[in-house]
Amino acid sequence: AMAAPAPTKEAGPSIGWDSHKAVDSVPESLVRGVEGNESMRRRFEKACREAQIAICKAVEDCDGGAKFHSDAWVRADGGGGISMVLKDGKVWEKAGCNLSVVYGSMPQEALQAATERGVDRAKGLKPGERVPFFACGLSSVMHPRNPHCPTMHFNYRYFETEGGAWWFGGGMDITPSYLNTEDMTHFHGTLKRVCDKHDAAYYPKFKKWADEYFLIKHRGETRGLGGIFFDDQNDKSPDQHFAFSEELLQTVTEAYLPIIEKHKDDAYTEEEKKWQQIRRGRYTEFNLVYDRGTVFGLKTGGRIESILMSLPETARWEYDHRPVEGSPEAEIMEAFKSPREWV
């Protein structure tokens, strides 16, 4: 059922706007049958799918109201995806967790948008020649209702190009509307513990990378209070990189859900809700203007509803809004303007 022509360097855009076909039952694998069960493609897909099921289950239990709705689709040229989306929950306004498997070819510029060292990835290709690639990843954004509950995002992905280049990338970050130091110590501390098990250099490096990556440049402020971000990881064995990604996928709920359990019943005012909406406007600005995954998805003809699942249900823009000096809103703005160490 997944048979499709292999993408070639000569092909035009291999992914069109209407190339996503909904399927009624979730396929066991979206990776092409020919890859073999031991391939990193299959192994990474399996780790993502298992994490998707476990995370969505834990989030449903925490929400106690809405359930995730699942959409599966295949693409005309191979690959496909499974979107899991929860709406109108008791705790979450909107939460999504998407698995995607892409066989495609992309313009070299899109490759640059997809990686930090894009130019190296296109080595050996003539200018204008398209780059055939495989990508598999799990992406998630969860926007809670209560302004004292932070928004969370993670994405872990594995890439291969036809030329045999491969790399791992990903990260997880948190976006509160109000500052709670204890929560940030828990979140960053959990990520640091996993990083340290794999490489003592990881946390400081990837924490800084997140602070730089999640910057809304035109405002000189970060989207949230960071986490970790990494790309182009291929300096160890594939097994070592895989083990790190797999453990990070398994740590998502531990890093995030205790913060939600703690604050999901916090009282809040209309003004606090409005501030959360303004911060969601900033979230939207970051995602549409700078986010590499979003830009990559829009440029390569990804499934729009899955890509833009990351946008909040509602957002707000007030002209020249400035928090009152000394207020909790001004307090967290300071942390957005100058990233801090939390652990």
Confirm or reject binding of residue 71 to its own copies (CB under 8 A).
yes
Phi and psi at 122, nearest 5°, equal: -95, 5
Confirm or reject binding of residue 261 to its own copies (CB under 8 A).
no
Confirm or reject binding of residue 271 to its own copies (CB under 8 A).
no
Q: State which residue, 96 or 118, has the beta carbon closest to its own copies.
A: 96
- CA–CA separation, 94 and 172 (whole Å): 18
20 in catalytic set: no
* Exposed e or buried b per residue across 274-284, where buried means at least 16 C-beta atoms within 10 angstroms of its C-beta: ebbbbbbebbb
* Cβ at position 87, least distance to its own copies in Å: 6
Could you tell me if 223 and 214 are in contact, meaning their C-beta atoms sit under 8 angstroms apart?
yes
Active-site residue, from 20, 143, 153, 263: 153
Q: State which residue, 35 or 305, has the beta carbon closest to its own copies.
A: 305
Strand bridging mode 69-75 / 151-161: unpaired
Question: Can you read off the two tokens belonging to residue 72?
Answer: 């599966």
Confirm or reject binding of residue 219 to its own copies (CB under 8 A).
yes
Q: Which of 20, 32, 49, 94 binds its own copies (CB under 8 A)?
A: 94
- Restricted to residues 282-321, the positions that interact with its own copies (CB under 8 A) are 284-285, 288-289, 298, 304-305, 307-309, 311-320
* Cβ at position 295, least distance to its own copies in Å: 8
Confirm or reject binding of residue 10 to its own copies (CB under 8 A).
no
* Exposed e or buried b per residue across 287-308, where buried means at least 16 C-beta atoms within 10 angstroms of its C-beta: beebbbbbbbbbebbbbeebbb
* Cβ at position 13, least distance to its own copies in Å: 12
Confirm or reject binding of residue 247 to its own copies (CB under 8 A).
no
Confirm or reject binding of residue 215 to its own copies (CB under 8 A).
no
Closest listed residue to residue 86, CA positions, set 113, 108, 59: 59
In the three-class reduction of DSSP (H, G, I as helix; E, B as strand; rest coil), residue 187 is classed as: helix
* Cβ at position 262, least distance to its own copies in Å: 27
Could you tell me if 264 and 91 are in contact, meaning their C-beta atoms sit under 8 angstroms apart?
yes
Q: What's the longest Cα–Cα distance across the chain?
A: 61
The residues binding its own copies (CB under 8 A) are 17, 71, 83, 85, 87, 94, 96, 217-220, 277, 281, 284-285, 288-289, 298, 304-305, 307-309, 311-320
What residues act catalytically? Answer: 153
